Structure formats: structure tokens, C-alpha cells
Amino acid sequence: MIVYVADSIHSINIEVRSRKSPEKAREVALKLGDKIISEVKSLAESKFSTEDLSKIRYARWDELHTSEYQDKLVYFNKKYETDVNFKNHIIGLVDGFTKNKGRNFSQEDKVKLGSYVVAEFPEILTRTPINSWTLDAYAYPFDGALPEFIENIQKGVIFPEIKENVMDTEPKVFMEVRE
């Protein structure tokens, strides 16, 4: 099992939502990542045997940055910049994520937050390796617009060119996390 923390990418949220500089936001995000990994390791050590612990790998967002990930990210960033329909879909997802946050986000904020969503696509659409391990599933905290959007892309229902140009593995499966 791989436990990875989306720490450095979270800096986009911190930058927009807390009005921090990109550098400060990254620093805060990486410290938060350290804390999360430490807490998860501590919890795992209290629950699992030494043998089971040896099967757990810990990783950070930047460890996804293989050449395959980077190539896909270039594709998605270009699509986000040039395809108005795609960009509108992404901004629609951002609107859904931000509508109940008690503040208004500018269009510039939404575009920046959309870049976070776009940066996730190479990892959540395909079976991207982390530390030479390939992930078959993606744990997500809820079912909703983003998983539906991704599944429709994976099936070629929407933006079939993405399936054709990016889907070089079997689709990653979403697992909804419930308490």
C-alpha cells in the first residue's frame, strides 16, 4: 500500500485561500505534509505488525513527477489554457468546491484553483507509478462531480481526445471513503 500526501500541490490552495506568496504557501504545505506523514506512520505503527508495516510505502506529491507524469501534465495544462470547453468544465468543478466556503473567489482565484485540479489529472486518470509502484485505485473522500468527470473522461464519454492521447494504462478506480 502507498500512503502519499498531496503536499506540494496543496500549496495552490494555501496560496489562493490564505493569500500567501507561492514560496510561503509551498513551505506551509510541505510542513503540513510532514505532519500528516508523521501522524499516519504513528497510527500505522500502533495498529499493524512489523510485517504489515513493511508493506506500506510513504510518498509525497513531488515523487509523482516522472517523465510520464510531466508529459501528461504538459498536455493537460495546454488543454486548460486553449480549450474553452475543458476550462469551463474545470472552473465548474472549482465552483462546486468553493461555493459553500463563506467567501467569494475571483475569476483569477478560480483559474488558479483549476490548475490544482488539472495537475491531479495525470495521477487520477491513469495508473501512475509512485516509487516504482503502480497504483490501481484512488481513495477519494466522497462521490460527486470530480469522480464522475474523471470516469466520463476515462470512458471517452466526454473529451474523447484525452482518452486517446493520455490513457496509456487501464483507468484508475475510484474508491469512495466512508466512515
The domain boundary residue, chosen from 62, 78, 108: 62
Q: How many domains does the chain have?
A: 2
Note whether 57 and 71 are same-domain residues: no
Find the domain containing 23 and state its range. Answer: 1-62
pLDDT tens string 94-151: 998 888 777 789 999 999 999 999 999 988 888 777 777 777 777 766 667 888 898 8
- Where is 137: in which H helix or E strand? strand 137-140
**Mean pLDDT over all residues of the chain?**
89
Compute and round to an integer the Cα radius of gyration of the chain.
Answer: 17
Rounded (10°) angle between helices 84-98 and 107-125: 100
**pTM for this prediction:** 0.85
Note whether 85 and 54 are same-domain residues: no
Note whether 79 and 52 are same-domain residues: no
Across-strand partners of 139?
Answer: 175
Note whether 27 and 44 are same-domain residues: yes
The domain boundary residue, chosen from 62, 85, 102: 62
pLDDT tens string 56-66: 989 899 988 88
Q: Count CB-CB contacts under 10 A for residue 64.
A: 24
